Structure 1
Amino acid sequence: MRWKRFCATLGVGALVGTAQAASCGMFGLTVNTPFVLGAVEKKVGCSFTATRWFVDWKRPFPAYAALQFFKTPGRQLELSWQPRIRLGDEKYKGVTYRSIAGGNHDAYIRAFARSVRATGRTVSITFAPEMNGDWGEYQLSAKNTPKDFKRAWVHLHRIFREEKARVRWVWSPNIIYPTMKSSYRELYPGDAYVDEVGLDGYNWGTTNPWNRWKTFAQTFDQSYREVKKITGKPMQLGELSSVEKGGNKAAWIRDMCRLLPKYSRIRRVFWFHITDRNVDWRLTTSQGALDAFKDCVRKRS
């Protein structure tokens, strides 16, 4: 009902976006609400065929918003399904992989799967994005092991198959970082249960004391090579962005554009168009960044 009220308030056009614009090619957009699409697409001058947004645990599949979204021909929806329950403003409780694998949430999962099936469309689902991290409510711990994660993934896959929901399963860890508690191989559910793999990675620049400016290659090279070692599945960059602080964001985007063809397994790139905890990752942080992205779309489309 919340999605339906938003659609009614903002109008279908805010959600459907620029239906007549040319496609942004391999580029998609990660947003915290689909209702920003129209405004962003007007600025970049193209239509983001593939779009990702987030759904927390115990929240129903946003069926009404999805159906409005699909009214634009060619739209592809990807959901980041996060096993965490919202308690209040920026407060969450994690849902353990063990409880998911053990069947404690089957009624919710089946209802979610049936809602996906009812759209009549294929939806990509990234379950527990950045599961290899150590900063979120559902990430690895003594009670949330890599083995538990894989069992939960397989359990979800089985239920959606039983419910005949059309889903592409996307496994998307964070890029490798120094204190990572598990290897990619230990967390990978197996090719039988995964349709696409991804990576989430950011250039934080100098927005905090423990980071420095990193190029596109410095951000993704090592992780890309490691993922290639464990699977031949097609790849995406599920969350990607750069800040302005500490370097030149426009130059970073131009460098990304120049290097992308060398990463031959990457079929899709989702720019993280969100301001998160006072860090502005959006495409529109400067005219220079926006112009660089628009030029990249022209070159890669």
Structure 2
Amino acid sequence: MNRRDALQAIGTAIAPLTLAGCAKQSAEATRILGIFPGSDWSRIRPFERWLERRFAVTTHYVDAAIPDQERQQFVFDAMTDQWNGGRVPIVTWQPFPRSDDENENVTREIAAGAYDDILSAWARDLGEWLSGENERRSVYFRPFPEMNGDWVPWGADSTTIDDFVTAWRRVYETMGDAGLADERVQWMWNPNATEHGDHETESYYPGDEYVDWIGLDGYNFGDSQQHSSWQSPNEVFEPMLERLTALADKPLSLPEFGSSSYRDGEHRPAEKARWIDDAFDLIEQYDVRMVCWFNIDKETDWAVFGGGRGTDTYSADDRSETYDVYETYRDRCTTAAYRVGDDDTHLSSAAFQGQL
């Protein structure tokens, strides 16, 4: 599973959106609804019109070592636009190697202090953003995602457990030393649903004091790849959900999840719709507090809105464009159980911390 091209997308600025008749926040809401809308962030507007509500969080992907101007554009423009639209950003911080020497040792380099200047710059910019015009601003920080996989340079084939844990703690402590308030930043430790290499996923855990949320990424590739076959949500997620629940008493999230429709040699949108329904059943069973669909067709047709196929169609207000959609997704995530964003009502402090 290699989504590097998509995961380095920073996201362009989008204007705040007014939704007539937008669903109001429910006092009964026990889960946070989020999205990664793909590289075209303008797509989030018709998506939210279709849902008749805003997402409460948005997943973003950034290279840790991007130039200063790009980092500041991301923090002060893209993150601000999301916040102004009622959404809390999830910053997926990816230390892609800057040289051949780092390619096999990036976590060792971070652990040894080679990234301290980069960390200080991120801490400075995030600190300034958090203390900006709106003192309620908050952010989720998700470094080193899918570390138990063999497709990332900080993962199973390219790090030792000691190097990874030391690197995580150094990132955390450098940010903290720069004055980022704990109540404004939530740290998300995020393995993949399937593990690779010689080390158990639990061994990468840096300790309760360094983690606020546990994330889990997982996908049903169906028969879309030579190496893949159709998997139910239980087959994708349940073994690792059981283990992570036993590992730590932290709120659970799915910062990336999705399903192909390709099964038995052809695309079957009705099968994907059933998969979505079953996935939301599993989310409720394990009390997963945050869910973010990976809404971009890449290796296969992940999208539930505006992708290559669906079980229905939706036309924008001006009828200028029609989108393929999966009504099952809309039906399941527009219930009172899901906390949504609003221009005036972001996540409460308790909800931000997973205390829903």
Q: Secondary structure of 1:176's match?
A: coil
Task: Give the alignment partner of residue 81 of structure 2, picking from 68, 71, 90.
Answer: 68
Change (3 A) 1:93 1:72: same
- What's the offset of the Cα at 1:17? 4.1
Task: Give the alignment partner of residue 238 of structure 2, picking from 217, 221, 227.
Answer: 221
Identify the residue that residue 107 of structure 1 maps to in structure 2.
117
Task: Give the alignment partner of residue 145 of structure 1, picking from 160, 167, 179.
Answer: 160
- What's the offset of the Cα at 1:19? 5.4
Identify the residue that residue 330 of structure 2 maps to in structure 1.
294
Please list the CA deviations of residues 115-156 of structure 1 after superposition, one character each: whole Å capped at 9, or x if unmatched: 111112221111111011012333223x51121111011001
Cα pair 2:154 2:164 within 8 Å, conserved: no
For normalisation by structure 1, the TM-score amounts to 0.86
**C-alpha distance in 2 between matches for 1:228 and 1:267:** 13
- What's the offset of the Cα at 1:53? 1.0
Identify the residue that residue 256 of structure 1 maps to in structure 2.
279
**C-alpha distance in 2 between matches for 1:211 and 1:220:** 15
Identify the residue that residue 201 of structure 1 maps to in structure 2.
218
Identify the residue that residue 126 of structure 1 maps to in structure 2.
142
Identify the residue that residue 348 of structure 2 maps to in structure 1.
none
Identify the residue that residue 22 of structure 1 maps to in structure 2.
23
Unmatched 5+ stretches in structure 2:
1-8, 26-30, 131-136, 312-324, 339-356
**C-alpha distance in 2 between matches for 1:290 and 1:282:** 9
Cα pair 2:51 2:334 within 8 Å, conserved: no
Runs (4+) off by over 6 Å:
none
Unmatched 5+ stretches in structure 1:
none
* 1:82 and 2:94 matched: yes
Task: Give the alignment partner of residue 194 of structure 2, picking from 165, 176, 179.
Answer: 176
Please list the CA deviations of residues 190-218 of structure 1 after superposition, one character each: whole Å capped at 9, or x if unmatched: 00000100100001100012211111111
- What's the offset of the Cα at 1:35? 3.8
Q: Secondary structure of 2:326's match?
A: helix
**C-alpha distance in 2 between matches for 1:241 and 1:23:** 26
Cα pair 1:200 1:240 within 8 Å, conserved: yes
For normalisation by structure 2, the TM-score amounts to 0.73
**C-alpha distance in 1 between matches for 2:334 and 2:48:** 14
Cα pair 1:18 1:46 within 8 Å, conserved: no
Change (3 A) 1:232 1:297: same
* 1:36 and 2:43 matched: yes
Amino acid in structure 2 at the alignment position of 1:52: T
**C-alpha distance in 2 between matches for 1:164 and 1:208:** 46
Identify the residue that residue 60 of structure 2 maps to in structure 1.
53
Identify the residue that residue 273 of structure 1 maps to in structure 2.
295
- What's the offset of the Cα at 1:45? 2.8
The number of residues matched between the two structures is: 284
**C-alpha distance in 1 between matches for 2:104 and 2:60:** 19
Q: Which has the higher contact order (CA 8 A, sep 6+)?
A: 2
- Percent identity over the alignment? 27
- What's the offset of the Cα at 1:181? 2.9
Amino acid in structure 2 at the alignment position of 1:127: P
- What's the offset of the Cα at 1:70? 1.2
Cα pair 1:130 1:200 within 8 Å, conserved: yes
- What's the offset of the Cα at 1:38? 1.5
Amino acid in structure 1 at the alignment position of 2:281: R
Please list the CA deviations of residues 13-32 of structure 1 after superposition, one character each: whole Å capped at 9, or x if unmatched: 2xx34555337963210244
Please list the CA deviations of residues 81-116 of structure 1 after superposition, one character each: whole Å capped at 9, or x if unmatched: 1111589xxxx9576111111111111111111111
**C-alpha distance in 1 between matches for 2:62 and 2:104:** 13
Cα pair 1:56 1:85 within 8 Å, conserved: no
Change (3 A) 1:3 1:30: closer
Change (3 A) 1:158 1:86: closer
- What's the offset of the Cα at 1:3? 7.4
* 1:135 and 2:151 matched: yes
**C-alpha distance in 2 between matches for 1:263 and 1:84:** 33
